[in-house]
Structure 1
């Protein structure tokens, strides 16, 4: 089994950046083709795990810190950068407020989506969410 196949199987053939399917049979030179991205989310000088990405997503990211977007289907206000939340909770257990939502059902939708996304982005972390009322809305908090 090639390294690409190993990483692809582990990642369920989904791009870690855009969360869309990656076709294992597509050419690695095609923008939607598979590529391996070495995430550098650990301390400076220490590489992180190798993850599956579309060639275009990996190229677009380049040498800058990656951005994992929140779903456009969610109604969230002031969403926290997902990679930053993962880095913070990897370094030290605790809790991080990640977004505000106007209704409890919006917060629940965001919670369900975020836990699913984080379980694939950082499978080594055991995270949970809590929805807290306040300020005329609801705060979504992630904790480890």
Structure 2
């Protein structure tokens, strides 16, 4: 099996940046085709964090578009969110310190519950070695969604 096949299998043929399926039959030159994002490996060599788990599968377009900058992981457009935190930064902080972090505020309980479920599912692929739990708490007329993980170090 090739390196691409191994990494794709690890990530269930889903792009770690946009979380959409990667077409395994597409050419490596096709924007929706598979590519290996090795920028995360450089971070590991620096000893910064282990949340990314090394090389990851990405669409050619997502990998090219992000270049050498930290990618922005999109939040779902179907849920009304207030001041959502950047998910890569949240993953890095939780990996480094563990504990609890408020990630977003929602206007109603239903949206907060949907967001909590989405976050747990998304983090299972974004940072597979770092299990998280989500909680929803009322606060200031809105609902706070927080992620919690045990300190890993």
TM-score in same-fold range (> 0.5):
yes
Q: Is the 8 A contact 1:75 1:110 kept in 2?
A: no
Q: Which residue of 97, 106, 110 maps to 2:111?
A: 106
Query: Secondary structure in 2 aligned to 1:139?
Result: strand
What does the per-residue CA deviation read over 1:88-131, in whole Å, with 9 as the maximum and x for residues that have no partner? 01111111110000111100000011110000111111211111
Unaligned segments of structure 2, at least 5 residues: none
Q: Is the 8 A contact 2:17 2:58 kept in 1?
A: yes
Query: Residues of 2 paired with 1:11 and 1:125: CA distance?
Result: 14
2:76 is the counterpart of 1:71: yes
> Which one scores higher on RCO, CA 8 angstroms, separation ≥ 6?
2
What does the per-residue CA deviation read over 1:10-43, in whole Å, with 9 as the maximum and x for residues that have no partner? 1110111111110111100111110000243846
Q: Is the 8 A contact 1:42 1:87 kept in 2?
A: no
TM superposition shift of 1:46: 4.5
Q: Please give the residue correspondences for 1:1-144 in structure 2 after superposition, counting only pairs within 5 Å.
A: 1-40=1-40, 42=43, 45-46=46-47, 49-144=54-149
TM-score (norm 1): 0.94
Query: Residues of 2 paired with 1:132 and 1:95: CA distance?
Result: 13
Aligned residue pairs: how many? Answer: 144
Query: Secondary structure in 2 aligned to 1:35?
Result: strand
Unaligned segments of structure 1, at least 5 residues: none
Q: Is the 8 A contact 1:80 1:98 kept in 2?
A: yes
